[in-house]
Amino acid sequence: MRALLLIAPLLIFVLVTFVSPIVDMLFRSVENGIVTEILPHSTSALKDWNSERDELPGEAVFRGLYVDMVIAVKRRQHTRVGSRLNYEAAGIASVFRKTGRSLRKVDVDAFVRHFTDLHPDWENRAFWEGVFSDPAAAGVLPNSSRTFDAWSQDFAKPEDPVPEDFVYVALAGELRGLDASDLSGFGQPYAGMLAEAARTIGRLDEISLKQEFLQLDSEWSAATLWKTIKIFSPPLTEAYFLNAVDMKKGIEGVERKSEAERIYLVIFGRTFVMSVTITLACIFLGYPVAYFLARLPLRKANLFLILVLLPFWTSLLVRTSAWKVLLQQEGVINDILVAVGIVDDSARLVMINNQFGTIVAMTHILLPFMILPLFSVMKTIPPDFVRAAKSLGADAFTAFRRVYFPQSLPGIGAGSVLVFILAIGYYITPELVGGIKGTFISNRIAYHISTSLNWGLAAALGTLLLMAVLLLYWVYDRIVGIDNVKLG
């Protein structure tokens, strides 16, 4: 208990600044509450719509849409839901944007008059408040209650005497199909008044909000649009994950994307292959360096270590740009090769803006992460062991292979885990020298975070990347054993 108290500050710090943002970000990969949150009435009306038949939803849905849209436009949220749905079917964003701009043109006077012609009390805010503070209201007229509350709490000024049009539309929509017995739970005079309004509500059937919306934007007649809204109504969705593996949740169920749109699996594969290559290159280059350093006397070793660390302390951007200068076709290396005559001037080597450039630059940048753990492990291997092996008759190579190398393995393990995990999430170097075939999955994640704002997809890609790393870590633990990893 006391131990727990002692680490509490660190624990809380890590939870607040590290774990919770990650969990929050990961949750975005399945979160889809936005559609029902902004379009509650339309989506609940859509439940009764049969999307199999290619006909448009009924009037109830369009009444719901009107109420949703009015509220969303007031809250400036209509384009948000448009952008969300646009991820699934291009073009929806502008339907919402256009409709929001011209929503004023929709004529709903008939809905208001239907009530106010019955009784002047319907023009009285206090009466409306009475209706919706009745205990029966939330159960019998849930949508209208919500709408009235939204109006009176968020939009109405205290002195506004009459509710706005959309409140009437919401109530009319909900009274359709109800009769006096449904409304008997209300106290008087509300039960009577509501029943009276419900009895004659059929008169409004000839008012077609559908036609009004089609006039605002003919796209509202597209069945795909409605199917998309219906498919993406649930509060949780697997669509982002499907997108992240080049599939989509289409109208006919889950399917692979068309050839021209598949991209993420290729990039995931490329990220892994290149990270493995970089790790191997680091082992290949770093091992001899660490071996050399470990055998030097400490003073000299420290001097050479500075040479390893110096690039490590240099800005990442500077090192990456330096590689550009070296590797480009009019660059230093090509110039030398041409001058020496190894390469013809017309056939200069392409070494940058491709996978080769990325691998070279990243190997250079990540090399210290391999050398340092290797060095610290090798320092602890007593030279006596190799000498003993030799005195027992082993030649130099056998002594190295059977005695020295096995003892340095924990260093390779630690270095590889470090380099691989750093490499797989690398962003800036692939972006700058990767060209088109050398970019990593993190470049796409960055694109979705900061440019397309599709944070759900970015979160799904990030989650998959995290899973893959954890899986590899587990495999590594099973094969090599994580206890064998030593950082020093």
Partner 1 sequence: MTLAKIGVVTAGALGVSVGAASAIDLTVISWGGAYSQSQINAYHDPYMAENPDVKFIYDESAAEAVAKLRAMNEAKNVTWDLVDAVAADAIRLCDEGLALEVDHDSFLAPAPDGTPASEDFGDLIVSDCFVPQIVYSTTFGYRTDVAEWDGRVPTTVCDVFDLENFPGRRSLEKRPINNVEWALHCDGVPLNEVYDVLSTSEGLDRALAKLDTIKDSVVWWSAGADTPQLLADGEIVIGSTYNGRLFNLIEVTKAPVAMLWDAQAFDLDGWIIPSGLSDERVEAVKAFLTYATDTQRLADQAKWISYGPARMSSAPLVGQHIELGVDMGPHMPTAPANSQNVLIYDYLWWADYRDDVDQKFQAWLAK
Strand partners, 254: 249
- Give CA angle at 146 (145, 147), nearest 5°: 90
Does 454 bind partner 1 (CB under 8 A)? Our answer is yes
Among 36, 44, 94, 224, binds partner 1 (CB under 8 A): 94
Find the helix packing angle between 78-86 and 92-102, rounded to 10°. 160
Return the number of the residue (75 or 401) whose C-beta is nearest partner 1: 75
Does 214 bind partner 1 (CB under 8 A)? Our answer is no
Does 307 bind partner 1 (CB under 8 A)? Our answer is no
Say which residue the tokens 């009530």 belong to: 115
Does 255 bind partner 1 (CB under 8 A)? Our answer is no
Among 133, 208, 215, 450, binds partner 1 (CB under 8 A): 450
Q: Quote the least distance from Cβ 454 to partner 1, whole Å.
A: 7
Does 267 bind partner 1 (CB under 8 A)? Our answer is yes
Determine the 3-state secondary structure of 247 from DSSP.
strand
For residue 201, what are its two tokens? 């509500």
Among 18, 75, 273, 471, binds partner 1 (CB under 8 A): 75
Given a contact cutoff of 8 angstroms between Cβ atoms, the answer to whether 177 and 30 are in contact is no
Q: Is the N-terminal amide bond of 120 cis, ω within 30° of 0?
A: no
Given a contact cutoff of 8 angstroms between Cβ atoms, the answer to whether 254 and 247 are in contact is yes
Alpha-carbon torsion 388, 391, 396, 399, what sign?
A: negative
Does 481 bind partner 1 (CB under 8 A)? Our answer is no
Q: Which residues are CB-contacts of 341 (< 8 A; sequence separation ≥ 6)?
A: none
Return the number of the residue (184 or 450) whose C-beta is nearest partner 1: 450
Residues 406-445 that bind partner 1 (CB under 8 A): 431-432, 435-437, 444
Return the number of the residue (262 or 300) whose C-beta is nearest partner 1: 262
Q: Quote the least distance from Cβ 302 to partner 1, whole Å.
A: 35
Residues 242 and 32: their CA atoms lie apart, in Å, by 14
Residues 111 and 149: their CA atoms lie apart, in Å, by 19
Is residue 10 within a helix (H) or strand (E), and if so which, with residue range?
Answer: helix 2-14
Does 77 bind partner 1 (CB under 8 A)? Our answer is yes
- Among 172, 175, 143, 159, CA closest to 71: 143
Residues 322-361 that bind partner 1 (CB under 8 A): 324, 328-331, 353
What is the DSSP secondary structure assignment for residue 248, as one 8-state letter? E
Return the number of the residue (77 or 145) whose C-beta is nearest partner 1: 77
Among 261, 303, 339, 387, binds partner 1 (CB under 8 A): 261
Among 29, 86, 358, 442, binds partner 1 (CB under 8 A): 86
Strand partners, 248: 255
Does 116 bind partner 1 (CB under 8 A)? Our answer is no
Does 398 bind partner 1 (CB under 8 A)? Our answer is no
Site track 169-208 with partner 1 (rule: CB under 8 A), x = hit: ----------------------------------------
* Pure H helices in 162-208: 165-175, 190-199
Point out which residues bind partner 1 (CB under 8 A).
75-77, 79-80, 82-83, 86-87, 90-91, 93-94, 97, 260-263, 266-267, 324, 328-331, 353, 431-432, 435-437, 444, 447, 449-450, 452-454
